[in-house]
Amino acid sequence: MSSTLSSIGEIDDTMCIMPLGGGQEVGRSCILLQFRGRNIMLDCGAHPGREGNDSLPFFDSLDDPSEIDLILITHFHIDHCAALPYFTEKTNFKGKIYMTHATKAVMKMLLSDNIKLQTRSRPLYSEQELQSCVDKIEVVDYHQTVEYKGDGSFLSRSCITNTLYCLPTPFHQPTTYSNHPLTPN
């Protein structure tokens, strides 16, 4: 996952997008975005029709989870956030996690119920691990711009059930990310 470097040793403006799940099915929404030396995970979902490790995104494609700088969660659906406690508590991830207040509140309730519903296999994480994950989340308000380490920012634009993140690009036009289409305000 090392940064893309130009021949003169500066960080390149190449944007690399690596799907870790989702693809051509509902479930496991998880995309790694690498840009200007940053590694950003967009969503961290589980496949709702599968259990155990089979439900997770393909985290084994990552060289080192500690290199992920931040995770942006769009909304509280299982296929967008249910692998988050596994990733934060069972790997060496040390970055920041952002989502809206509403997403954080509903996510905790849904994932707590989800732990109880996993009957065919052992749950991927415990209630204590879920709480530890929730404690690490930083909330963003609608239309809030967040500066990350002084060299990059993202803007949260959202409705109650989905968040659209606008990220800077080399073309001075923001790249937007949302896993579901939004209706204009």
The CA-to-CA distance between both ends of the chain, in Å, stands at: 37
Q: To which H or E segment does residue 60 belong?
A: none
| Token representation of residue 33 | 């975005």
User: What are the structural domains, with CATH classification, of the chain?
Assistant: 16-142 (3.60.15.10)
Q: CA-CA distances (angstroms) from residue 22 to 19, 46, 75, 145?
A: 7, 9, 15, 27
Average pLDDT, stretch 22-47? 87
How buried is 140 (Cβ within 10 angstroms: 0-12 exposed, 13-18 middle, 19+ buried)? buried
> Which residue, 38, 121, 134, is CA-closest to 84?
134
Q: CA-CA distances (angstroms) from residue 164 to 72, 81, 123, 134?
A: 10, 15, 30, 21
**pTM as predicted:** 0.80
Residues 41-67 pLDDT 10s: 999 999 988 888 999 999 999 999 999
- Output b/e per residue, 48-62; b: 16+ Cβ within 10 A: eeebeeebbbebeeb
Q: To which H or E segment does residue 111 belong?
A: helix 101-117
Q: For tokens 């496949």, what's the residue?
A: 47
What is residue 62's predicted lDDT score, i.e. its pLDDT?
Answer: 94
Using a pLDDT cut of 90, give the percent of the chain over it. 45
More confident residue, 127 or 75: 127
